[in-house]
Structure 1
Amino acid sequence: MFEHSSLRVLSLYEGFFSGGARVLHTTVVSGLHAHGQQQHSALSIHSSVRRESMLQHMEDDPRYRILRAAGVRVSSLGRSTDGDHDPRTFTDAEMAVATREATGVDVLLSLKEQPLRLVNQAGFPDRPVVACLHRSDPEHSGAALDDLLTAAGSGRLAAAICCAESTKDAYAAAGVPESLLRVVPNGIDLTRFHPVRRVRRMSLRGAHGIPVDATLVAYAARYDAMKNPRLFLAAARSFLERDPAGHVMMCGAGMSTDNPGLVTDLAETFGDRTDLLARVHPQGVRRDMETVFAMADVVALTSAFGEAAPLCLIEGAMCGAVPVTTPVGDSARIVDGIGFVTSLDADEIAETWIEAAARRGELRGALTHARQRFSHVRMLSGYAQVLEQAVRGAGARVVAA
């Protein structure tokens, strides 16, 4: 599948916590390492990260455990976002750890642009860097965009892998040389995300209190303005009013009643229709999204900005749920022929959920036909090729010098 290689690759993580980019990057690292032609390791700047009111510890994170199970060595600088560290500076001890880890590899793979502030530090080992970019709004990356541009200007940045065409366009417009930008579309493990038999689906619904004949909409997103959870809730109210058999399931960091912000939003949205709340199921972080999607008729995305190639749409669709999305990033490309695109109008979204569920049987063939397009095997091959080219390019520059 890949060209022969003995590349040693160090992935740089800001931290380990719930999120699509970390899921995808971990799939890449564990997959390439398991194939045996590349040796991967990982360095995390933080050992614990607070996101959406949750303090998430590295050792508890499923992505960390997947890497360790695959034989990938993972180290950390030991920071916590609850600490008083200056994010722009690093101690001598931290730099010693980072230098040791980077010295032993051929190329660095940075999960998003944030870890590049470490790479740009004086004295950091001179290794080619491949940045993995997963958004379509680099202007919201703050100082991290400057770090990316600094790495590009200094020659450290050998390539930037973009998960979507919208990502490539946005970062080119932000000043990253287009010659460095490579598009490798997102892929998923199709052996994990797939439809289940009717009997299994009925059993799963029963275990979660979802009626067999319900219309179930699944929402997988963290509680963040980018994901537009208030729009989702407004659409959910409209949907539940229209469909007496409708249910919605909300998954992700902050999507539980432990989050005061979500509790307030639920009260404001359903204040005069609290009877509808019995059909709203906040789940928080789920480790088994394939189960949620296999139960669902529709997978919904209501994001306002920032998305590139949302994994939830792909994962849900490959489990048999019809994807319905707002027009952000490459979402329209992803659902072309297998789902629906809406405006940011809550009533339109609700009506489209109902239509999508009604046409689920009609779209089953298209969803099945699309499976190979979203296979992670193609994605792994693309990443491997970019990493190999980055090292060959660095070697050529050394020879030329």
Structure 2
Amino acid sequence: MLSVYEGFFSGGARIVHSDVVLGLGEGGQQYHRVLSIHGEVHREATRQRMEDDTCYRSLTASGVEVTSLGRSAGLVDGSVAASVFSGPELAETARAMAGADVILSLKEQPLALLNQGGLPRRPVVVCLHRSDPENQGEALDELKAAIADGTVVACVCCAESTRDAYRAAGIPAELLHVIPNGVDLLRFRPDPAARVAFRASLGIPAAAPVVVFAARYATMKNVPLFLRAAREWLAREGGGHVLMCGAGMTEGNPALRADIACAFGADEQALRERVHLLGVRRDMEAVYAAADVVALTSVSGEAAPLCLIEGMMCGAVPVTTDVGDSASIVAGHGFVTPADPGAVALGWTSAIAGRAVFAPVLARSRERFSRTRMIAAYAALLERVHASHAGARVA
């Protein structure tokens, strides 16, 4: 198997897919390699080098071969890789594809490369992780073209909302297979010791209410809404703290600084001091364990937000806007709120008050969000694809 990434940069889709690659390679049942179009990207006010990425490090540490075409790009929300590739880039891609029986495309953006003429003919499975196909630039056209010529033989949708959106956009229903996201339950679990240690590292009292917002700095995440809700909540919760982590969630991001100034105002320094900007973290299990609430304020694009699942499995109560499959994910486990700062802030307060009630419900739901279940479903689909296309391989 060969997985093709647009690049290694912060985001739930790359985390899920990399975990799937690792899981599918366990036990030697399948052999996986990864080809990345970009060697580094600049987005969310952050330079993200492939070699620094947590997913890259996990893959290579486990023996997965990762190569790159070496491109560097300043990507923005919704952008795709340039569709013009050089001879050496196509030769490298052909070499990577030659040894594969099945190609996995992480989202539809890599199809700009895989649709190039002269490459080996292999069945392609596209892994879809959003619910707004019409908002992906030329990527939807690339997906339709690859389906029309028989290159794409299946699409994995991480959410029901993803399947519904792509079917409505004209993708044949029989190609769309839903495999919900799952997480490593040994890593993402309530951890009282990590909770105390992480809070202590930030000077947060053990009994203080804490809300975590794990997201990259992007329009779809609606950071201004989160910050307005945080201002209201912090003003009411005298001892509360807010954690913001992800690409662009640092003081070095001028757009984020402007958002904070707009939400909090010049006279709210005391409240601002209880907002902790943590940037990209490699210890998200500890961040979530330290929190009482995991918050999501997105307005579009989400499918099955990984932050809600990871946070819940660590004991944080989810509070989210109604986007993608978020409502079904948190049903019975937390709260869905309108995209209004007051409503969001009240949702956080209700979640903290009900945390003891939600704890046993979250514990009983762990198997539903298991990585093991997710990987088994991927393995079954890929084996079917391989079996149905065995013998049809064209160099």
TM-score under structure 2 length normalisation: 0.96
Q: What does the per-residue CA deviation read over 1:99-146, in whole Å, with 9 as the maximum and x for residues that have no partner?
A: 011011100001000001111101111000000000000011110111
The within-5 A match list for 1:14-29 is: 14-29=6-21
Q: Give 1:125's aligned residue.
A: 120
Q: Is the 8 A contact 1:111 1:133 kept in 2?
A: yes
Q: Give 2:62's aligned residue.
A: 70
Letter of the aligned partner of 1:275 in structure 2? Answer: A
How far 1:82 sits from its partner (Å)?
A: 4.9
Mapped to 2, the partners of 1:249 and 1:209 lie a distance apart of 12
How far 1:397 sits from its partner (Å)?
A: 6.6
Tell me the percent identity.
56
2:95 is the counterpart of 1:94: no
Partner of residue 379 from structure 1, selected from 374, 381, 389: 374
Mapped to 1, the partners of 2:388 and 2:222 lie a distance apart of 41
Q: Give 2:200's aligned residue.
A: 206
Letter of the aligned partner of 2:42 in structure 1? Answer: R
Q: Is the 8 A contact 1:337 1:366 kept in 2?
A: yes
2:230 is the counterpart of 1:236: yes
2:304 is the counterpart of 1:309: yes
In structure 1, runs of 5+ residues without a counterpart are 1-8
Q: Is the 8 A contact 1:132 1:160 kept in 2?
A: yes
Partner of residue 36 from structure 2, selected from 12, 36, 44: 44
Q: What does the per-residue CA deviation read over 1:79-98, in whole Å, with 9 as the maximum and x for residues that have no partner?
A: 11059x98111101000000
Q: Which range moved further: 50-59 or 215-224?
A: 50-59
Q: What does the per-residue CA deviation read over 1:336-376, in whole Å, with 9 as the maximum and x for residues that have no partner?
A: 11111001011010011011011101111000001111010
2:349 is the counterpart of 1:354: yes
| Matched residues, number | 389
Partner of residue 139 from structure 1, selected from 130, 134, 140: 134
2:237 is the counterpart of 1:222: no
Q: Is the 8 A contact 2:216 2:248 kept in 1?
A: yes
How far 1:200 sits from its partner (Å)?
A: 4.3
Q: Is the 8 A contact 2:38 2:72 kept in 1?
A: yes
Mapped to 1, the partners of 2:390 and 2:170 lie a distance apart of 26
Partner of residue 168 from structure 1, selected from 163, 166, 180: 163
2:50 is the counterpart of 1:58: yes
Letter of the aligned partner of 1:285 in structure 2? Answer: V
Q: Is the 8 A contact 1:18 1:252 kept in 2?
A: yes
2:244 is the counterpart of 1:250: yes
2:353 is the counterpart of 1:345: no
Letter of the aligned partner of 1:280 in structure 2? Answer: V
Q: Is the 8 A contact 1:30 1:67 kept in 2?
A: yes
2:101 is the counterpart of 1:109: no
Q: What does the per-residue CA deviation read over 1:46-73, in whole Å, with 9 as the maximum and x for residues that have no partner?
A: 0011111211111111111111111110
Letter of the aligned partner of 1:386 in structure 2? Answer: L
The within-5 A match list for 1:273-292 is: 273-292=268-287
How far 1:330 sits from its partner (Å)?
A: 0.3
Partner of residue 266 from structure 1, selected from 243, 260, 271: 260
Q: Is the 8 A contact 1:34 1:70 kept in 2?
A: no
Q: Which range moved further: 86-95 or 253-262?
A: 86-95
Letter of the aligned partner of 2:138 in structure 1? Answer: A
C-alpha RMSD of the superposition: 1.6
Q: Is the 8 A contact 1:33 1:70 kept in 2?
A: no
Mapped to 2, the partners of 1:111 and 1:337 lie a distance apart of 31
Letter of the aligned partner of 1:61 in structure 2? Answer: D
Give the 4+ runs in structure 1 shifted more than 3 A. Answer: 395-398
TM-score under structure 1 length normalisation: 0.95
How far 1:257 sits from its partner (Å)?
A: 0.6
Q: Is the 8 A contact 1:187 1:379 kept in 2?
A: yes
